[in-house]
Amino acid sequence: MDKIFKELSIPIRVTLAVETEIDPFEKNVETVNLSSIPLMAIVNEISPAKAQWTMPGIITEKIKQVILRKIHRPLIERSQKITVKGDNSEYYGYRINGKLSIVEEQDYIRIYIYVKKEQ
């Protein structure tokens, strides 16, 4: 898997954010984005049919599967958005879909990120 990872990985940028609770009664939260962190990952497109059963209840324009090294899991859990090199879209994942979107496989994790559908 390490050889495949080195051959197929492309750069992604993970933007972290700090959440500050503004109103504890209404649970209003303000987020401040920090600078982004570059990581290497394998990125695959997911078909719309697979997206419906992979992430039920999430309405998306497009979805990607990202495979990262396991040591980057804390960064992904605190990420606000993720950008992929060569794609102008901003993807979301862990903060909205929770732990359902992270799967551990040996020394790697698989996550699903998506673009929110404008309504």
- Specify the pLDDT at position 79: 85
- Specify the pLDDT at position 112: 85
Cβ 62 vs Cβ 115: under 8 Å: yes
Cβ 62 vs Cβ 49: under 8 Å: no
pTM reported for the whole predicted model: 0.78
Structure tokens of 26? 């209404």
HEC states along the chain? CHHHHHHHCEEEEEEEEEEEEEECCCCEEEEEEEEEEEEEEEEEEECHHHHHHHCCCCCEEEEEEEEEEHHHHHHHHCEEEEEECCCCCEEECHHHHHHHHEEEECCEEEEEEEEECCC
Q: Work out how many domains the chain is built from and give that number.
A: 1
Q: What is the pLDDT of residues 19-40, one digit of tens each?
A: 888 888 888 888 888 888 999 9
Confidence band for 12, pLDDT divided at 50, 70 and 90: very high
Overall residue count recorded for the chain in this entry: 119
**What number is the average pLDDT over the span 40-53?**
83
Q: The domain containing residue 112 runs over which residues?
A: 2-116
Cβ 100 vs Cβ 75: under 8 Å: no
- Specify the pLDDT at position 5: 86
- Specify the pLDDT at position 96: 59
- Give which of 112, 118, 103 is closest to 52, Cα–Cα: 112
CATH number of the domain encompassing residue 92: 2.40.10
Q: What is the pLDDT of residues 64-105, one digit of tens each?
A: 889 999 999 888 888 888 888 888 778 876 665 555 578 888
For the cut 90, the answer to whether the pLDDT of residue 54 exceeds it is no
